[in-house]
Structures are given as structure tokens and as C-alpha cells.
Chain A
């Protein structure tokens, strides 16, 4: 398989919360037209990496090249132009609770395009239909279940027909069947619209189902990057532990444990 162009390339990304170093020299690439999964446990830095990729946070150092432009240094005005071509599904859907589902999906179109209201209404219906929520335009977000909220959030994320679509923990808080339904939807979007998709998750079931390209993170660093087959074939003990769901061995250092307790 020939390697497609990287639509996003991250180089030596370093970031801090206060004085704590969260990302420690992250390098990764997101191939165009594929599904990339950033895999990692809690605190691995995968969510922070996502926040940088969508420009919600600026790094201490390093480059984030989106279609060749470094969004870490871009002025806000130009960042807006790039954001119009990205869609993001946040963990809980992040629907605006004061608006109906239909108004939520229509919002990016109203703000960024000069389409007629009737056209926007039709496009809203198309997007809702696509995620399996036809007929829910007039519902308020509070009336929807968790899975439906995520689907509605997805409809809003794809309202502008983005080139790159980001998912933050799509299966978090969903039952296995609903989560699998969302995975199907992600695959459908890739095949029908040729979107580049990036998914941040710790869910192994999703990983094996949807991933083309995998970036595994641990402790603010990239542990390995490659195709799904490379990940499975990896001999790295930490990668194998994660895939086999083995907890990291606890340190059996009695002396050190005692000292940490007495504070010496």
C-alpha cells in the first residue's frame, strides 16, 4: 500500500499546564482519506494532543502543520478559515442546550455561508438523516439520549462538509451496541465522503474495527505509530500490555514505598 499524503503533521510538540509538562515531543502524521486512531490510556496526553490539533490550545513549542500551514503560529483570523474545514465531535456532543437540534446543525451554515434559510433547512435535514436522526429537528438536546446527542453533534460537525473530522472518545459513556453503531457511522463517512478522520479513544473494540493508521501514546509521548497491522505485530511490551488489557505491574520497592509514606 502506498502511503498517502499527511494532511496533518505534528513535529516535536511540547506543551505545559503551568509547570507540568503534558506533551513531551510528540511527532505524528495523519494520512489523508484514512481513519487515524490516537490510542492511549487516561493521562497519556491523547486528549491534549487533540485540543492542539483543533487549535483550542497553543503549544509551548513545536509545529502543527495542517495542509502545510502551521496552526500553532497562525493568527486567529486565519485559524477561523481552517476551522471551517474541520468538524469536531466532542465527548458529550457539546450541543447548545438552549437551541433545538435543528438549530444546532444549522448554526455553522448560518454563520459561515450565505445560503437561503430554506436551503439551510434542507441541508440540516440531510445531515440529520445521515446520522439517523431524521425528524428530530425540533427536539431540544435535553430530550435526547446520550447516543442521540452524539449523533446530533456529529450532524453539526459535518454540516459544513469538512475535509477533516475529529472525534473525542466517541464511545465514552455509550453501551457497546450504541458505540458500535457510531463506529459504523464513522466508517460510512469515510467511505461515502472520503473524509480524513481522526479518532481519540482507549476503546480496543473501536480500534480494531475502524483504524487504518494508529498512533499510540503514553506519558505524553508517542509510543509507536503505524498501520493497524504494525500495532498488532509490535513487540513492545507496553503496547502488548495495552492491547491485552494487562495493568502495568506495580512497583515492588518496599523501601521506596515506606519512604514515600513517611515523607523522608
Chain B
């Protein structure tokens, strides 16, 4: 029992240290973001663009595939239930609303946490191990401005775009199911979807995805900068980045959903 408590205490102290370090990074990032427009180098457009390609453009195929599949799955699941009450046309409402409000942002964020968040952590971690980060500092360059900021910016721009793509492709998956197996004409389905969707569904989803972007890139950079002790450290921190960001994404999603629920 005493051991258990001691263990919990140690973990808590450790967690406090990590939180403090993460907080410091957050403050640094915020300060650089605020000052970037007024410095000569600005937002480092070329580095940011390269990261946008790696984070965003290269994720399109996998986001496409998964969103399309999930759209079909939701449509099929909904159809089994709705057919019993003879309201199959409401499949369109269900697919449209659940994708734009919830599944689109969440799925895309989880895919990117696994694909790009981990890549950020591994890349920065390797740079830390091979003294590249030290070399930057020794040259008088700021690793947060030089490495973290372009990645966070790229993620914040690309994740909402990918989420929009996921919304559209998911609805397309629903269209295919409705047309091929439920016998609903494409035009009717789309009209039903447009009637069901409100602009605020779309915006609440995009707002979420923006926050998720901050979580994924922030956690990736933080874990990358915290790497110590060679290749093993890189592996451990990379895994930690995926686990932490997925947990934080779900937690943030819950908070948002509660807020939107209360606000109606």
C-alpha cells in the first residue's frame, strides 16, 4: 500500500515536471506566434510550405480512404436501424450531421496524430540526439522559432482542410451506399443532406479540428524536444506523442461536445 502511494506520488511529481515543461513550450510558441509578423523572417514561409506538403498533401490518400469507408459504415449501420421504422431517407441526415460535427474532425485528427504527430516527434527527436538542436542554439538560432513554429503553423492550416475533405468524402460514401443498396436516388439523398446540415455543424467541426491541430503539433514538438538518450529515447517519445495526443484529442472533443450541447 505504501509502495503504491509512493509510486503514485512519484508519477505525480514526474507529471508535474512534464506539465511545467510543456507549459513553457506553449508560452514560447505563443510569444513567437505573436512576434512573428513583426520580424524580418516572419513565418518562414518556405519551411512552413514544405511542412504543409508533408503533413497535409501527403495525408490526402489515407484520409480519403478512411473517410470514405467510415461514411459507408455509418450509412449501412443507420440503414439497418432506420429501415425498421421505414425512414431510410434519414440515413442522409445521420451521415451528414455525424460526419461534419464529430467523425470528420475526430478521424482526421487521429489519422494525423498517428501519421504526422509521430513523424514530428521522431524527426525533432533525431535532431536532438544528433546534436542538431544544440547546433542551432549554438549558432544563435531559436529551435522553437526554427523547428516548432513552422510545423505547428502547417498543421493548423492543413488539418481543417483535410477535415473538410473528410466531411465531403464521407458524405460521398453515404451517397454510394444509399444509391447502390438502399435505392435512394443521388439527387434526393443530396437534397436531404443539405436540408439536414446547418452551417454551425460545419463550423463547430472545423473549430474542433483547429484545436486538435494545436494538440497534435504541440505534443509532437514537445515530445521531440524532450528526447534523451539515443534511438531508444526517440522510439519512446514517438510512441508517447501518439498516445498523448490521441488522449488529449478525445478529452478536448468531449469538452467541446459538452459545450455545444449546453449551448444548443
Q: Which residues of A contact B (CB under 8 A)?
A: 54-56, 79-81, 83-84, 86, 88, 90-92, 94-97, 107-108, 111-112, 153, 156
Contact = CB atoms under 8 A, between A and B. Distances in A.
A107 B134 contact: no
B264 interface: no
Contacts of A107: 139, 141
A111 B132 CA distance: 16
B229 interface: no
Given A56-B138, A111-B139, 9 more contacts: A55-B138, A80-B140, A88-B138, A92-B131, A94-B130, A94-B131, A95-B132, A96-B135, A111-B141
B137 interface: yes
B229 to A, nearest CB: 13
A108 B134 contact: no
A237 to B, nearest CB: 35
A112 B130 contact: no
A185 B137 CA distance: 25
A90 B134 contact: yes
Nearest to A159: B139
Contacts of A153: 135
Contacts of B139: 83, 88, 107-108, 111, 156
A108 B141 CA distance: 8
Contacts of A86: 138
B29 to A, nearest CB: 15
19 contacts: A54-B138, A83-B138, A86-B138, A88-B138, A88-B139, A90-B131, A92-B130, A94-B130, A94-B132, A94-B134, A95-B132, A96-B132, A96-B135, A107-B139, A111-B139, A111-B140, A111-B141, A112-B140, A153-B135
Interface in B106-152: 127, 130-132, 134-135, 137-141
Contacts of B132: 94-97
A55 B141 CA distance: 13
B133 to A, nearest CB: 9
A55 B137 CA distance: 9
A79 B138 CA distance: 10
A91 B97 CA distance: 56
B140 A84 contact: yes
A54 B138 CA distance: 7
A94 B130 CA distance: 6
Interface string B24-35: 000000000000
Contacts of B131: 90-92, 94
Contacts of B134: 56, 90, 94
Highest count of chain A CB atoms <10 Å: which of B132, B137, B138 = B138
Interface in B221-259: none
Contacts of A79: 140
A17 B134 CA distance: 18
A83 B130 contact: no
B99 to A, nearest CB: 36
Nearest 9 A/B pairs, CB to CB = A83-B140, A94-B135, A94-B131, A88-B138, A80-B140, A90-B131, A84-B140, A108-B139, A54-B138
A241 B139 CA distance: 37
B135 A88 contact: yes
Contacts of A95: 132
Contacts of B135: 88, 90, 94, 96, 153, 156
B16 to A, nearest CB: 15
Contacts of B141: 107-108, 111
A166 to B, nearest CB: 8
A97 B135 CA distance: 12
Nearest to A111: B141
Nearest to A81: B140
A56 B138 CA distance: 7
A84 B141 CA distance: 9
Highest count of chain B CB atoms <10 Å: which of A88, A94, A156 = A94
A114 B132 CA distance: 24
Highest count of chain A CB atoms <10 Å: which of B127, B131, B137, B140 = B140
B240 to A, nearest CB: 21
Contacts of B137: 55-56, 83
Contact of A97 (B41, B130, B138, B140): B130
A56 B133 CA distance: 10
A48 to B, nearest CB: 13
A88 B137 CA distance: 10
A193 B96 CA distance: 70
Contacts of A97: 127, 130, 132
